[in-house]
Amino acid sequence: MFSDAAQKQEAFLNKLAGKLNYQRHSLAKEPFQPENKINLQKLQGLSQDELLEVAKEQSDAIYTDFKVISKEDLAATIQDILEEKGQGNYIIPDDNRFDEYHLTDLANHPNTYIWKKGAEFREENLNAANQANVGIAFAEYLLAESATVVFETNAGHGRTLQFLPQHFIAIVPKSQIVPRITQATADYNEKVLRGEKIGSNLSFISGPSNSGDIEMILVVGVHGPLSMTYLVLEDA
């Protein structure tokens, strides 16, 4: 059964095809047949420990600090990173996981701004993100193949939260490491088909901002944070 969003999408595409006098391709009648299954086979069968090592190795290639820690050490590790990055202002999303993972001291810190829900706070949220030295948020997935973290945009977590701060810390449980983008998008597709609500925007971020467009010279921090740290939490 299609979700409401999927039904609206189908209606729009059917209307567009009618205007263009174009017969839409039907996957039901002519299902897509891939030439290979490399998207499913790559890194298939690896354990979480093996995926962790793949992600760690790839993180080095994209200039990202990678730490594997316990849940109990999370607060202290974050504090060490904040001191290393020069403290300043922080920004975090409105996310219950900060309480669940005993980060209430961080959330209640006078320098910490918590993303506010509501369109009336748009400018305030943007200014806070722009002025933040460090942003901190929980990632939904870590893609081992590319060391990519995935974030969902929602009312309490705007998309600029992970782009505007000078430095960013992504927290992800080890159990949320998947081989590659194939598995993450498949999970989201299943949620949509079940009618579950997901974020209005999905951000796939592979380390700090890097650009080599000008004379092939690598410049870090042009389009986002100057540095990123992944904190992978050992499962209890």
Q: Looking at the domain assignment, is residue 39 inside a domain?
A: no
Same domain, 109 and 225: yes
55 has pLDDT over 90: yes
Same domain, 191 and 165: yes
Average pLDDT (173-181) is 94
Any idea what the CATH number is for the domain that residue 215 is in?
3.40.50.10420
Q: What is the pLDDT of residue 128?
A: 97
Q: What is the pLDDT of residue 44?
A: 83
Q: Looking at the domain assignment, is residue 3 inside a domain?
A: yes
2 has pLDDT over 70: no
Q: What is the pLDDT of residue 45?
A: 84
Q: Looking at the domain assignment, is residue 41 inside a domain?
A: no
Same domain, 63 and 107: yes
Q: Looking at the domain assignment, is residue 40 inside a domain?
A: no
Same domain, 106 and 63: yes
Same domain, 92 and 207: yes
Locus of tokens 């998947």: 178
64 has pLDDT over 90: yes
N-terminal to C-terminal alpha carbon distance within the chain: 37
Same domain, 96 and 193: yes
Structural domains in the chain (count): 2
Distance of CA 38 to the CA centre of its chain: 23
The pLDDT-based confidence of 233 (bands split at 50, 70, 90) is very high
Structural domain of residue 25, as residue ranges? 1-33
Distance CA 160, CA 142 (A): 19
Same domain, 166 and 135: yes
Q: Looking at the domain assignment, is residue 229 inside a domain?
A: yes
Q: What does pLDDT average to over the chain?
A: 89
Q: What is the pLDDT of residue 178?
A: 95
Same domain, 69 and 174: yes
Residue 139's nearest CA partner among 207, 82, 192 is: 207
The pLDDT-based confidence of 1 (bands split at 50, 70, 90) is very low
Q: What is the pLDDT of residue 13?
A: 87
Q: What is the pLDDT of residue 234?
A: 93
Q: Looking at the domain assignment, is residue 116 inside a domain?
A: yes
Which region among 3-17, 19-33, 132-146, 187-201 has the lowest average model confidence (pLDDT)? Answer: 19-33
Same domain, 28 and 121: no
Q: What is the pTM of this model?
A: 0.81
Same domain, 92 and 201: yes
DSSP 93-150: -S-THHHHTT-HHHHT-TTEEEPPPSGGGHHHHHHHHHH-SEEEEE-SEEETTTTEEE
Average pLDDT (161-167) is 94
Q: Looking at the domain assignment, is residue 162 inside a domain?
A: yes
- In this structure, the number of other CB atoms found within 10 A of the CB of residue 126 comes to 14
What pLDDT, in 10s, does the model give residues 83-118? Answer: 999 989 999 999 999 999 999 999 999 999 999 999
What pLDDT, in 10s, does the model give residues 114-163? Answer: 999 999 999 999 999 999 999 999 999 999 999 999 999 999 999 999 99
Q: Looking at the domain assignment, is residue 23 inside a domain?
A: yes
Same domain, 76 and 188: yes
Same domain, 50 and 8: no
